[in-house]
Amino acid sequence: MQLSDTIQQAMNDQIQKEFQASYLYLSMSAYFAAENRDGFAKWMRMQALEEGKHAMRIMEYLEDRGGTITLQPIEAPPATWPSPLAVFEEALSHEAMVSAGIHALYGLAGKETDYATEAMLQWFVTEQVEEEKTSRDLVETLRMIGDNASGLYMFDKELGGRGAGD
C-alpha cells in the first residue's frame, strides 16, 4: 500500500514540527549558555539532538514507504526569556504542540486504515507522553525553586549530568 498524499503531507508537516522543536531547543541552549547556566544549556542541546533524530526517523519512514520528503521553512525562535522557568514553560507548551501533531497524524492514519503508519507512530505517541512528563516535572521543580540562587545553581548542575540517552 502506497502512502496517500494526505499522509505524506501530514508527515512532512510533522517533520517540520520536529525540526522546529530542535531549533527552539538550540536557541534555548544558546540563551542558557549566555547566562552561564551550562547545565541547562547542555540539557537543551541534548533535547535539540533528540528532536532532530525524531525528524530523521519520520524522514526515513517516508523514504522506506516510497514517499516524497518536502522540507518546509523553520521559523526563527526567540533568543531570550525572562527566566529559566519561562524557558521550560515554553518547552512544555511546545511539546504539547508536537504531541497534538503526532495525535492528529495517528488519527489520520487510522482513518485511512494505514496500519503501517499507525504502527510506526505508536513509538512517537509513547515518546511524547515521556517528553511532556519530563517537561512538566522540570517546570514544577523550577516553580518550587523560584528565585533561590542556590536552588537554581544545584538544579543547573543536576541537568548538566544528562547523557546522550537520557
The C-alpha atoms of residue 87 and residue 80 are separated, in whole angstroms, by 9
What is the pLDDT, as a whole number, of residue 163? Answer: 62
**Residue 148 one-letter amino acid:** N
Torsion of CA 134, 136, 137, 138, to 10 degrees: 90
- 0.85 cut: is pTM over it? yes
pLDDT tens, position by position, 54-71: 999 999 999 999 999 999
Domains of the chain by residue range: 5-71+80-159
**Exposed, middle or buried: residue 53 (CB in 10 Å: 0-12, 13-18, 19+)?**
exposed
Which CATH number, 1.10.3720.10, 2.102.10.10, 3.10.330.10, 1.20.1260.10, labels domain 5-71+80-159?
1.20.1260.10
pLDDT tens, position by position, 78-136: 999 999 999 999 999 999 999 999 999 999 999 999 999 999 999 999 999 999 999 99
